[in-house]
Structure 1
Amino acid sequence: MPLITVALVDDHPLMLEGLVQLLSRSGDFKVVATGKSAQDILDICESHEPEVIVVDLLMDDDVCKVITTAIRISPNTRVVTFTGAEGVEPAILALDAGATGYVMKGSTSAELVQAIKSAKVGETYITRLFANDVIAKLRDAPLRRKAAKALILNVRERQIMRLLMVGKNDAEIAIALRISETTLEKHMIDLWHKLKVRNRREAVIAAKRYERPPVMH
C-alpha cells in the first residue's frame, strides 16, 4: 500500500525530531515536510498538500483559526492536533475548526499513529482519556455523531470486524492485516470490551449495530 504523506508542525525541536523518527520508522508514513510555527501550517499545505498534517495547538498564533484556513487551502489535507493543551474546551475548538483528530502529548505513540490513519480515511479520533466528554459537548451535530462512531470502532478494529463477519479465523485475519496473532489478540480484547460482548459471535452481531451513526441528543 502507498505510504501516507504526513507533515509535522511543532515549535519544540526535540518533539519535532522525535515525531519524524517515530513515523519514519513505522513503515506506513512518508514525512514530506516539517515546520515550527502556525504560519508554517499554511505554507506546507499550500506547497505540499500532505494527506495528513499533525500540528501542535499551543504555538505562536490562533492555531484553530489557522486550521480552518489550511483546510481551505488544501481541502484534501486532514488535520490532527497533537498537543499538551489540557481539558475538553481546546479539543472542541480544534474539532469545530476542522481538525479530524485530537491527541494529547501524554498519549501513547500508538494513539498518534491510529489518529493519523483514521484521519487518512476521514474518521475522527480523540484521545480516549476524555473522548466521551468531548463528544457530548461538540456543538456540531454531524461531527458529534461521526466522532461517536469513531470512538466505538477505529480503523484497525473495523478491519478486524469486516474479516470476522466473513468468517475468517484468527490466523487468516493476522495474515490479511500483516500483524502477529499476539497483536491481533490485543485488538480482540479491546473490541470485546468496547462492544460489551463475550465472544466472537456476539461481537459480529454487535458490530452490525454500528454501521449507522448512533443518535445523540
Structure 2
Amino acid sequence: MDTGIRIAIIDDHPLFRAGVIHILSARPDLDVVGQGASASDAISVARNESPDLLILDVSIPGGGLDALESIVAECPKTKVIMLTVSVDKPDVLKALRLGARGYVVKGVSGTDLVQALLIVAQGDRYISPSLGAMLLSDFDHTKTATRGKAIDDLSHREGEVLALVTQGLSNKEIGIRLNLSDKTVKHYMTSVFQKLHVRNRLEAALLVRKPVNVPANDASRIAENRSPSGN
C-alpha cells in the first residue's frame, strides 16, 4: 500500500510534465498517481484519484483557474499548487482567492519544487519568493496604518516566530530553529494571526512590509541554530 504523498500533475506540455514526474518519482515519499493536460483532465483526476496534492498550470486548455475552482469545491481534501509561467498579478491573486495552497513559477529547481510540495502537504501555504514584492504592492493598504501597533502587540517570542514565517519556514522548521515543539509553534501562530487580524501565514507575511525587529543577540542565536543544509 502506498504510504507517500499522493500527487497528480496537470500540464499541457508533455516533455515538461514528464520531467516533473521523473523528479517526483525519484523520491520514496512522493507517489505520482495521475496526470493530464487539460482542465477536464484535472477535474477527472481529482475526482477519481483523490490525490493529496494536485499540480496545475494556469494556462492549460479549458483554463487552470476554472479547474482550480471546481476542484476546491468538489474535492476539498486535495490541495492545489499552481506551477506556471504566469506571473500576472490578476492570475496570482485570483488563484490564491480561489483556494490554491501554493503558487510556484516555472523555472524553479527540482529541489525547490519538492520543498514547496512538502510545505503545502504539511498544511502550510507556499508562494515563490519572486512574487512577494508584487503581492505586497497589491495587498490591502488600509491595514498599513494599524500595522505598527499590531506588530508592537506581539510578544518577543511571537515576533521571533513571525520573523521566521516571513522567511518562508514551515512550522516544523520554526520549531527546530527556536527549539520549540510543533504544538507550541502552532500556539504562537494562532496568537499571531489573532493579533494581526489575518487568516493564514501568507497574509501574515504580506502584512509585514519590513523585517520584524529581533534583538541582535537573539538573531545571532537563531542563525547559529540553522543546520548546514539550511533546513
Structure-2-length-normalised TM-score: 0.64
Q: CA deviation at 1:95?
A: 1.1
1:202 alignment counterpart:
219
Q: CA deviation at 1:33?
A: 0.6
Of residues 8-17 and 111-120 in structure 1, the stretch that sits farther from structure 2 once superposed is 111-120
* Structure of greater Rg: 2
Q: CA deviation at 1:16?
A: 0.7
Is contact 1:57-1:82 (8 Å) kept? Answer: yes
Aligned equivalents of 2:11, 2:84: Cα separation in 1: 9
| Residue 138 to residue 124, structure 1, CA distance change in 2 (3 Å) | farther
Q: CA deviation at 1:196?
A: 7.8
Is contact 2:84-2:105 (8 Å) kept? Answer: yes
Is contact 1:152-1:195 (8 Å) kept? Answer: no
2:54 alignment counterpart:
53
SS state of the match for residue 71, structure 1? helix
Is contact 2:126-2:168 (8 Å) kept? Answer: no
Q: CA deviation at 1:117?
A: 1.2
| Residue 71 to residue 201, structure 1, CA distance change in 2 (3 Å) | same
Task: Specify which of 166, 171, 181 is matched with residue 179 of structure 2.
Answer: 166
Structure-1-length-normalised TM-score: 0.68
2:168 alignment counterpart:
153
SS state of the match for residue 154, structure 1? coil
Is contact 1:111-1:127 (8 Å) kept? Answer: no
Aligned equivalents of 1:75, 1:50: Cα separation in 2: 11
Of residues 38-47 and 80-89 in structure 1, the stretch that sits farther from structure 2 once superposed is 80-89
Residues 95-147 of structure 1: per-residue CA shift (max 9 Å, x gap): 112111111112222222122112112211111112232255257x9xxxxxx
Structure 1, unpaired ranges of 5+? 142-147, 168-193, 207-217
Identity %: 25
Compute the RMSD of aligned alpha carbons: 3.1
Residues 30-60 of structure 1: per-residue CA shift (max 9 Å, x gap): 0011111110111011111101000111111
**Are 1:110 and 2:111 counterparts?**
yes
Is contact 2:72-2:98 (8 Å) kept? Answer: no
Is contact 2:101-2:125 (8 Å) kept? Answer: yes
Is contact 1:100-1:119 (8 Å) kept? Answer: yes
Aligned equivalents of 1:86, 1:196: Cα separation in 2: 30
Is contact 1:8-1:33 (8 Å) kept? Answer: yes
Q: CA deviation at 1:21?
A: 0.4
**Number of aligned residues:** 171
Is contact 2:89-2:135 (8 Å) kept? Answer: yes
Q: CA deviation at 1:22?
A: 0.3
